[in-house]
Amino acid sequence: MTDSTGETEYRVVADGVEKAFGDNRVLKGVSFTVQRGTATAIIGPSGSGKTTLLRTLNALDRADAGVIRVDDVEIDFATPTTKSEVRRFQSRSGFVFQGHNLFPHKTVLQNIIEGPVIVQKRPKEEAIADAVTLLDQVGLADKRDQYPYQLSGGQQQRVGIARALALKPKLVLFDEPTSALDPELVGEVLSVIKELAVEGWTMVIVTHEIQFARQVSNQVLFTDGGVILEQGPPDEVLGNPKEARTRQFLERVLNPL
Residue-level pLDDT at 244: 96
Residue-level pLDDT at 8: 58
CA–CA distance, 150 with 248 (Å, rounded to integer): 42
User: Residue 219: which residues within 8 A CB-CB, separation 6 or more?
Assistant: 34, 35, 38, 39, 40, 41, 231, 232, 233, 234
Torsion of CA 189, 191, 196, 198, to 10 degrees: 170
Residue-level pLDDT at 4: 44
215-228 confidence digits (pLDDT tens)? 999 999 999 999 99
Question: Does residue 160 come out as left (phi exceeding 0), alpha (psi in the -120 to 50 range) or beta?
Answer: alpha
pLDDT tens, N- to C-terminus, the chain (257 residues) = 444 444 558 899 999 999 999 999 999 999 999 999 999 999 999 999 999 999 999 999 999 999 999 999 999 999 998 999 999 999 999 999 887 789 999 999 999 999 999 989 999 999 999 999 999 999 999 999 999 999 999 999 999 999 999 999 999 999 998 887 888 888 888 999 999 999 999 999 999 999 999 999 999 999 999 999 999 999 999 999 999 999 999 999 888 76
The CA-to-CA distance between both ends of the chain, in Å, stands at 46
Residue-level pLDDT at 6: 46
Residue-level pLDDT at 136: 95
Query: What are the residue ranges spanned by the domains of the chain?
Result: 1-92+171-257, 103-168
181-232 confidence digits (pLDDT tens)? 888 888 888 999 999 999 999 999 999 999 999 999 999 999 999 999 999 9
Nearest to 186 by CA among 197, 176, 178: 178
Q: What is the pTM of this model?
A: 0.92
| CATH code of the domain made up of 1-92+171-257 | 3.40.50.300
33-48 confidence digits (pLDDT tens)? 999 999 999 999 999 9
Q: Is the dihedral of CA 48, 27, 217, 100 positive or negative?
A: positive
CA 124, chain centre distance (Å): 26
By the 10 Å C-beta count (0-12 exposed, 13-18 middle, 19+ buried), 256 is classed as exposed
CB atoms within 10 A of CB 213: 23
Residue-level pLDDT at 100: 76
Bridge partners of residue 206, in order along the sequence:
42, 175
CA 70, chain centre distance (Å): 13
CA–CA distance, 68 with 77 (Å, rounded to integer): 8
